A and B are shown apart, each in its own frame.
Chain A
Amino acid sequence: MLEFIGLLLLFMIVASIVAIETRDLLAAVISLTAVGFGVIIAFFYMRAPDVAVVPIVVEVLVLVILIRSTLRVGLKTFIGNRDLFGMIVTVAMLAVVFLAGIRVFSFFPTFGEPVITRIPDAPSRIYLENGLKDTGAANIVTAVLLDYRGYDTLGEATVLFTAVMGAIAVIRKKARKKPSEPEVPEWGE
């Protein structure tokens, strides 16, 4: 008898197989959104509301961007798999890695007993005890993210900045064949 998380994971696996295998690009994108909502329900079940609020809005933006990429192309273009020999080799290697993975995961602690219950002076326990006193924030996750581990947030801001600069640099290419049809407006508008 599987727990609730097991059922959610099965739902996510089925939805992801549908998203990969279907011929219709619109159905694939909608299945991807279904996977995202399964992830959100899993986050809420595991008592992480601060983490669960973010994918709710991120899913909508990913949906809009992916549908934008399929607009002029046509939603029913079907391009198949790679050659059959490559596919069989890939599936065989993934099966071997998965069986090795099952053996590794049997050494993990049981689901439901994180580090805090077993080691008395883990960093998370210190953050939970002294969070309100040291930083004054009631939301311990925000206190960890912006006070105890502020460097990671600085790194995240840098990575997001770089990814968006990369996207802008790729789109803004100005060398076009037809100078009479400018592609994006000038930067100052």
Chain B
Amino acid sequence: MLYALCFLFFAVGLYGVLVKRNLIKIIISLTIMESAVNVFIVMVCYRKDAIAPILDKTIESQEFLAHAADPLPQALVLTAIVIGLGVTAMTVAIAMRLYERYGTYDIQEIKRLKG
């Protein structure tokens, strides 16, 4: 049920990419889709009554193993977030260049004016 809510969150972003005409709205929808995927991957590694997977001098080894959250998807999401930032910066640079060339952010106008 919670996974289905996360998928609905992703579908809202996908609707924004497919339906909107403003380039900045399309970039915002791409960021929403990427956040939805990150939340989904971290939801897979949640454990009931969990401890964060960071050792300390005061934690016993058995209790740590019995309660720690899964560290592997967390490591993969960490890199995905920084990559999302790089892709957002690149698409905003391309959008600003398009505005300078065609005078509008509207993709149907740009398709009409191309050439």
Interface residue? A187 (CB, 8 A): no
B residues near A13, Cβ cutoff 8 Å: 5, 8-9, 12
Interface residue? B113 (CB, 8 A): no
1/0 per residue, CB under 8 A from B, across A40-64: the answer is: 0011001111110011001001100
B residues near A66, Cβ cutoff 8 Å: 24, 27-28, 88, 92
Interface residue? A82 (CB, 8 A): yes
Q: How far is the CB of A54 from chain B (nearest CB, A)?
A: 5
B106 interface neighbour in A79, A140, A159, A171, Cβ under 8 Å: A79
1/0 per residue, CB under 8 A from B, across A166-183: the answer is: 110011010000000000
A residues near B3, Cβ cutoff 8 Å: 105, 108, 111
B99, A94: Cβ atoms closer than 8 Å: no
Q: In whole angstroms, how far apart are the Cα atoms of A132 and B22 in the complex?
A: 50
Given the known inter-chain contacts A138-B54, A153-B79, please indicate yes or no for A16 contacting B32, CB distance below 8 A: yes
**Which residues of B come within 8 Å of A, CB atoms?**
1-9, 11-16, 18-22, 24-25, 27-29, 31-32, 35, 38-39, 42-48, 50-56, 64-65, 68-72, 74-79, 81-90, 92-97, 99, 104-106, 108
